[in-house]
Amino acid sequence: MTVDRERADLIAALAEQRRLFNITLRGLSDEQARQRTTVSELTLGGLLHHLVATERHWIQVIIERDENSEFDVAGMDSQYRLGPDETVAGLLADWDVVTAQTEKLIREVDSFDTPIPIPTAPWAPEREWWPVRVILFNIFREIAHHSGHADIIRESLDGANTTYQRV
């Protein structure tokens, strides 16, 4: 596989996962996006907030390559919440900006094998180095993982999901 083909495939795979997640948001009000529909604390708006923040975080990790970085645990309690001043439309617009940054990075990164220092965290106190490719796959996994959550939450909300929309 050529590098250009790998770049195009990664961009397309991430776009498809984002598209599937976005289907679960179609036609929702901000109030519905904040609504819990299962015993979990997760909401559609909270998942969207998390995915935008997560992708932004990982792209910054690749760009900054900070060998002294530490994961900021202070924001973890709000990581899965649609804030009172946030809207679905606003977060989707933010995600468009982050998506453009991700795609630019994928097109311009020297090598997907470049090792990147990963921020330490209480659960991972030793510095690890991941190839760019692994970080991009981690973004893909996050979106895919939470798309499943979103589908269940949306179906519990009004019966819609990624394959069926109530009319």
Does 142 reside within a domain?
yes
Q: What is the CATH number of the domain that holds 122?
A: 1.20.120.450
Place of tokens 């991941």: 130
Q: What pLDDT does 166 receive?
A: 56
Across 133-167, b (16+ Cβ under 10 Å) vs e yields: eebbbbbbebbeebbebbbebbbebeebbbeeeee
43: in domain: yes
Q: How far apart are CA 33 and CA 150, in angstroms?
A: 10
Domain that holds residue 33: 3-158
Give the pLDDT score at 3.
83
**Domain count of the chain?**
1
- The predicted pLDDT at position 73 comes to 85
Please report where in the chains the tokens 């989707």 appear, as a residue.
92
pLDDT tens digits for 17-56? 999 999 999 999 999 999 999 999 999 999 999 999 999 9
Q: Quick check: is 32 in a domain?
A: yes
- State the pLDDT at residue 93: 98
Structure tokens at 84: 């009172």
Is residue 90 domain-resident?
Answer: yes
**pLDDT for res 153:** 95
Cα–Cα dist 35/29, whole Å:
10
pLDDT tens digit at each of 167 positions of the chain:
688 999 999 999 999 999 999 999 999 999 999 999 999 999 999 999 999 999 999 999 999 999 999 998 887 778 899 999 999 999 999 999 999 999 999 999 999 999 999 999 999 999 999 999 999 999 999 999 999 999 999 999 998 877 755 54
Residue 49, domain member (yes or no): yes
Q: Quick check: is 165 in a domain? A: no
The whole-angstrom separation of Cα 56 and Cα 50 is 10
Q: Is 42 left (phi over 0), alpha (psi -120 to 50) or beta?
A: beta
Identify the pLDDT of residue 160: 84
Evaluate whether residue 12 is within a structural domain: yes
Q: What is the CA radius of gyration of the chain?
A: 17
Assign 85 to helix, strand or coil: coil
Give me the residue label for tokens 């996050």.
142
